[in-house]
Amino acid sequence: MRNARKSRRAVFGVAVAAVSLAVAVAIAVPAAAGASPAAVSPSAGAHRTAVAPAGASTPTAVKGAAVVKGAAVRSGSPLSTTDRVADFYGAYIDAISGDSGQLSTDLRTAYLTKALRTRLTAWQAKEHADGVLRAQDIPASWTVSAGDAATGHVTSTVTLTWSTGPHPEVTRLTVRSDLRTQLITDITPAT
């Protein structure tokens, strides 16, 4: 009788531990990805990259509701000017793909100098395209790499990928940032 009671307690204890672990994982994985559970839904955007859960052997990324193994994991530092450029492009592309209206304007105000915003407004009126992307469409993906640094500024190369497949169409932009303020001061087609 005692052994049967101990066995039932052990089984019950294991079941409670398993349920607790499942709940913890359901909460921790989206939090580790830097998002709420709603941000992992298909409407969250197809190009978001998630942080791999602690102890994960293979980085994963959220693509809609699917998990893509082996995808790049995004990290950064608020002290890195190139990381700020990457943060801006990621947030900006999310804002315009989600048609969130004012957010793209607010991001421009927060990340771009006033002089650049003025130049982009004039460029956009003439070219009928988005001055940050130098295009009318929304890219399928983007990358940012560090470029040259000189006294007072640094350049980054932003690569915008417009299609998928074996020969995707890409556009490269040179983004110049002020080292002191970390604001973007110029965006031009890469040469």
99 & 12 share domain: no
**Do the bridges between strand 60-63 and strand 170-178 make them parallel or antiparallel, or are there none, so unpaired?**
unpaired
> Do residues 40 and 134 both lie within one domain?
no
Could you tell me the residue range of the domain that residue 159 belongs to? 81-189
- Report how many domains make up the chain: 2
Q: Give yes or no: residues 173 and 118 share one domain.
A: yes
The per-residue pLDDT for 165 is 87
Q: Are residues 91 and 143 in the same domain?
A: yes
Structure tokens at 171: 């556009």
> What pLDDT score does 98 carry?
84
Question: Among 164, 82, 112, 43, which residue's Cα sits nearest to residue 35?
Answer: 43
What is d(CA 21, CA 39) in angstroms, rounded to the nearest whole number? Answer: 22
State which of 34, 69, 104 marks the end of a domain. 69
The pLDDT score that the predictor gives to residue 101 is 77
Per residue of the chain (191 residues), what is the pLDDT tens digit? 544 444 444 444 444 344 333 333 333 334 444 443 333 322 233 333 333 344 434 333 434 434 556 665 678 888 899 999 999 999 999 999 987 679 999 999 999 999 999 999 999 999 999 999 999 999 999 999 999 999 999 999 999 999 988 999 999 999 999 999 999 999 999 98
The verdict on residue 75 lying in a domain is: no
Q: What is the CATH number of the domain that holds 119?
A: 3.10.450.50
Question: Does 19 share its domain with 53?
Answer: yes
In this structure, are 63 and 105 located in the same domain? no
Residue 190's region, left for phi above 0, alpha for psi from -120 to 50, else beta, is beta
58 and 89 within one domain = no
Q: Does residue 26 sit within a domain? A: yes
Are 96 and 175 members of one domain?
yes
Task: Establish how many alpha carbons lie within 13 A of residue 111's alpha carbon, considering only the half-sphere containing its beta carbon.
Answer: 24
